[in-house]
A and B are shown apart, each in its own frame.
Chain A
Amino acid sequence: MADPLLQVQAVSKTFGFGGVFWTRRWLQALDQVDLEIQRGQTLGIVGETGSGKSTVCRIVLGLIRPTAGRVIFDGRDLTLLPASEMRRVRRQMQAVFQDTASAFNPRQTVQAALLAPLEVHRVGSRGSRLTLVEEALHHVGLDTSFLGRHPHTLSGGQRQRVAIARAIILRPSLVVADEPTSALDVSVQARILNLFKEIQRELRLTYLFVSHNLGVIRYVSDVVAVMYLGRVVEVGPVDQVFSAPQHPYTRALLEAIPRADPTKRQRDIPIMGEIPSAYRMPSGCRFHSRCPVAMEICSHEDPPSYPVGENHRAACLWHDRRFVDGAPSWIASLS
């Protein structure tokens, strides 16, 4: 049954840079983004630099306000909540970021770093807090000998464990993880990813998991959203999206990943050119300038999101009834 913990509805975000009103440059970071995460599941977001995936995280966490749209968390619209209420809700959502070196106060011990959220939210008594700290450490596979250590004496993997312990210590329902393993070595990354899966089961957590690494997203996600220039171009169950992608950008992205198999090398460059500047947004479909299967109409008609399978949508005009007859063979026809 659908039981969304988080819904992002038609969220747009525009940033302004420099100048006064009429000389200011405006950058549309997000445009009408719709996303939904079911309780206990993981929504993975993939996309290249400038796709807006980190902006989604920051809006969900309430760190910045959307220009338009609604963020509904556990039935409540966060964009309407007063600051005092927001603080209470924030206890329910925690974050883990990529750069663990700057995520901690260098003068604070692990114990102090883990106590801080409990103190801020006035959880438990002084004595019971320490028990909670030890419990959280235990969850992430560290023992109490780490309590007195300082962040810089820890390895990257250990620091990320402490960051995860800090994120779960308030028993949140949602954890937003923005590239949490991108700075780690492969062997450490595997352990952290397994840890994320383990504590999700144990604590029934819901994840919003952002990564540019499609292998990582495949491994942790139930549902995946593919973003391009501030839009969600495809969203669906991870197995479906990866095995039968329905947007040319998703296809190109999947083809561009170097495979750990020298007998299957890329023959052709999947997409030419680079992601255009968000200051000069392409007309029509945002991907048309790089799309290998673009039609003439794509340069001036902006595609809506079409249903292409169960819980699976893609924003590509090839799915439109007008064109589906001549579509490339990989385009699923629903009619």
Chain B
Amino acid sequence: MSGAPRAHRHGDRPPVLGIEGLSIEFAMRRGAARVVDGVTLEVWPGEIVGLIGESGSGKTMTALSVLGLLPRTAKITAGDIRLSGTSLLGLPEAQLRAIRGRDIAMIPQNPMSALNPVLRVGAQVGEPYVLHRRADWKTALAQAVRRLTDVHLPLPDERASEYPHQFSGGMQQRAMTAMAIALEPQLLVADEPTTALDVTIQAQILRLLREIREEHRTSILFITHDLGVVAETCDWVYVMYAGRILEQGSVERIFAHPGHPYTQALLRATPAAEPAQAELVSIPGTIPSPLDLPRGCRFLDRCPYRFEHCNEEPPPLAVETDHTARCWLLEAVNG
């Protein structure tokens, strides 16, 4: 059986997003809480990359760091974040602001709190044209209507002059998406964009994101806790746990042959509608606190397969070509 090589990788060009050895810490009274620890991930042109993790995994902090929107109390202590080869760390705020919205845009989980309640939707979707392209408002509004059409908002002309509260949750998320793709950014960061939506609406938004990728070759970093959403949407998957990437591989590999015990456990703990499961296998214990991380493997305390070796930190080990997991079992099996 051959491992799927990463289809979107281009040997000669840098990835759209390259995160290398990123660590993020919060200074706490009881010491430094390292919520992201040595994370390395890439997003290639036209690729949808899933970053999957439960609460406390550090996935949202990783996403915020890409946008330069980390809370003030958080500090990047190691690593680099590059957009098409150019480091974003250390850029002055003015330059970051120019990049946000133009080159990187975000689709948040809760559109209602991201949209300005007292501004008409059209003005909000059109604003990037005024801010980044120095367009006049008339042009910007026309562009906004075009983008609202792109995201299949019904009656875009009329809807553009309405306020966010007149929109349903699904329509608000379409408007956020329209705003995010306004200037055709290279990278979209979508943080749980469908978690607050009903499943029929979720299906529509996921379809829309795939369509945007096809039509504009936009790369998408998709942050979620939902395995189904990842399987439905992504090309490549990173599994994050307690600040670390525990496994990465193509979506087909991760779901058919998960290499890390944590990934395997997540799949067994997810209730499926069809076919029925006789029993859900739950994961004992809880995610370790970032103030009190175990020595060695992060999943150590909850892992059914742990052995002496696990007290040592496992490096990423190859399960297959382009599919790695941080688990000593792989070395034991591979010899």
Contacts and interface: CB of A to CB of B under 8 A. Distances in A.
Interface string A211-237: 011111111000000000000000000
A328 interface: no
A242 interface: yes
B199 A185 contact: no
B74 interface: no
Contacts of B227: 186, 260
Interface in B44-83: 54-55
A258 B271 contact: no
A155 B270 contact: no
B272 A215 contact: yes
A265 B251 CA distance: 12
A259 interface: yes
B168 interface: yes
B206 A258 contact: yes
Interface string B111-125: 000000000000000
Given A215-B270, A269-B207, A258 B276 contact: no
Interface string A184-218: 01111111011000000000000000001111111
A159 to B, nearest CB: 13
B276 A187 contact: no
A275 B229 contact: no
A215 B267 CA distance: 13
B265 interface: yes
B163 interface: no
A258 B207 contact: no
Contact of B252 (A215, A262, A266): A262
B201 interface: yes
Contacts of B207: 266, 269
A271 interface: yes
Interface stretch (A2-10, A26-34, A248-256, A309-317): A248-256
B203 interface: yes
B198 interface: yes
B224 to A, nearest CB: 10
Contacts of A49: 169, 198
Given A187-B265, A212-B199, A261 B255 contact: yes
A259 B284 CA distance: 24
B55 A185 contact: yes
A39 B229 CA distance: 36
B272 A260 contact: yes
A213 B267 contact: no
A257 B273 contact: yes
Contacts of A185: 54-55, 225
Chain B interface size, under 10 / 10 to 19 / 20 to 34 / 35 or more = 35 or more
Contacts of A193: 271, 280
B271 A219 contact: yes
B103 interface: no
Given A215-B270, A260-B227, A274-B171, A48 B200 contact: yes
Contacts of B206: 258
Contacts of A218: 271-274, 276
Nearest to A193: B280
Interface in B262-301: 265-267, 269-274, 276-277, 279-284, 286
B312 interface: no
B24 to A, nearest CB: 21
Nearest to B168: A274
Contacts of B171: 274
B18 interface: no
A10 B149 CA distance: 43
A263 B276 contact: no
A260 B282 contact: no
B164 to A, nearest CB: 16
B162 interface: no
Given A186-B54, A255-B203, 16 more contacts: A48-B198, A157-B286, A185-B54, A187-B269, A190-B282, A194-B279, A218-B274, A238-B276, A256-B199, A257-B199, A257-B273, A258-B206, A258-B229, A260-B227, A265-B232, A273-B154
Interface of A: 48-49, 155, 157, 185-191, 193-194, 212-219, 238-239, 242-243, 252-263, 265-266, 269-275
6 contacts: A49-B169, A157-B286, A193-B271, A194-B280, A242-B273, A256-B200
Interface of B: 54-55, 154, 168-171, 198-204, 206-207, 225-229, 231-234, 251-252, 255-256, 265-267, 269-274, 276-277, 279-284, 286
Which 3 pairs between the two chains have the least Cβ-Cβ distance? A258-B228, A215-B271, A190-B282
